[in-house]
Amino acid sequence: MSRQDSTPQFGTGDFGEALWDPDGGAPAGIIGPDGQEAPKRFNVYRNNVIVSLTEAIGQNYPAIMNLLGEEYFNALARAFVIQHPPKSPVLIWYGGEFADFIEAFPPLAAYPYLADVARLEWAWLQAHHAADVTPLDPAALSALPADDIGAAQFTRHPAASLIASKWPVWDLVRANRFDPEAVEGIDLNISQSVLITRPELDVGLVLLRPGGDVFVMSLLDGAPLGEAAARAQSEEVEFSLSDCLSDVLSNGVFSDLQAP
């Protein structure tokens, strides 16, 4: 019998399905060095894979781990891993569905803010690994003719994003990840919108002013400056164009602008 003929055969689908079923057995064809079936070896491998992915989720969502406690978080992350196997071998991109998973997880229904905390942590990770692009020089806007400023449109910096939440996500993430001593108390009855940027080496989280979320999102969606300002003003009477524009330009939200 040839070496090819004696090699145990099993489908990659069977192997993959067994890998994500902790309660299932080993797929047929798992053979140890002694030539015998080796279900224990497969179980060890399966457990190592799940543990490694669970740890990766923990590294990507430290604020969620702190809020839930390590034991509960690991159980939650393990459940997520089993339902959401990675699609890429690059683990820094693993876990993008975790916020939606938390939001739909019945035992956590009493803690609805957790999903937005996870979304903010994921946005931080995306900004951290985004492409290096020189941010727009704020002077570029002031150099335009006055009649063209309202029609100016901006190109989003690869690291820029916005999380608009009905919960105090800025305070929750700061208290449970970045600066615990800076937050004395958290009022769950307030909403916060956070701008995520990385104009240079470090990711920045900026708490937006009233109306800033509508203004920034409009600009990120391609609306001209004048239109974005009008939208924000119509939804928030305290909106300040000068302050919000200063926030976005000074924090590297854009990489370029286009004007008539």
Strand spans (E) along the chain:
153-156, 161-165, 192-197, 204-207, 254-258
**What pLDDT is recorded for position 89?**
77
193, β-bridge pairs: 164
pLDDT of residue 82: 87
39-60 helix and 70-83 helix, angle to the nearest 10 degrees:
120
Q: Is the pTM of this model over 0.85?
A: no
Using CA atoms, how far apart are residues 158 and 130, in angstroms rounded to an integer?
6
| Domain definitions of the chain by residue range | 1-111, 123-260
Strand-by-strand arrangement of the 204-207 sheet: 161-165, 192-197, 204-207
DSSP 8-class letter at 87:
S
* Cα 29 off chain centre by: 39
Could you identify the residue written with the tokens 């990120």?
220
Which of 66, 61, 130, 51 minimizes the C-alpha distance to 97?
61
pLDDT at 14: 55
Predicted pLDDT of residue 90: 80
- Mean pLDDT across 18-34: 51
Specify the pLDDT at position 181.
Answer: 83
Higher pLDDT, 23 or 111: 111
pLDDT at residue 18 tops 80: no
Distance set, CA 134 to CA 155, 200, 205, 252, 253 (Å): 12, 8, 18, 8, 10
pLDDT (mean) for 135-139: 95
Residue 250: pLDDT over 70: yes
Q: Is the dihedral of CA 114, 101, 204, 211 positive or negative?
A: negative
**Tokens 């939001």 correspond to what residue?**
103
Please provide the distance, in angstroms rounded to a whole number, between the alpha carbons at the two ends of the chain: 76
CA gap 35, 251 in Å, rounded: 62
| Summary mean pLDDT of the chain | 86
pLDDT for 141 equals 94
Half-sphere exposure of 37 toward its Cβ, with a 13 Å CA cutoff?
Answer: 8
Residue 189 has pLDDT above 70, yes or no: yes
Query: What angle, 0 to 180 degrees and rounded to 10, lies between the N-to-C axes of helices 225-235 and 212-220?
Result: 150
Encode 11-27 in three state secondary structure: CHHHHHHHHCCCCCCCC
- Which fold is adopted by the domain 123-260? Outer Surface Protein A; domain 3 (3.90.930)
- Here the tokens at position 119 are 């979304």
pLDDT tens per residue across span 83-111: 998 887 787 888 999 999 999 999 999 99
Lowest mean pLDDT among 18-27, 142-151, 160-169: 18-27
Q: How far is CA 57 from the centre of its chain?
A: 11
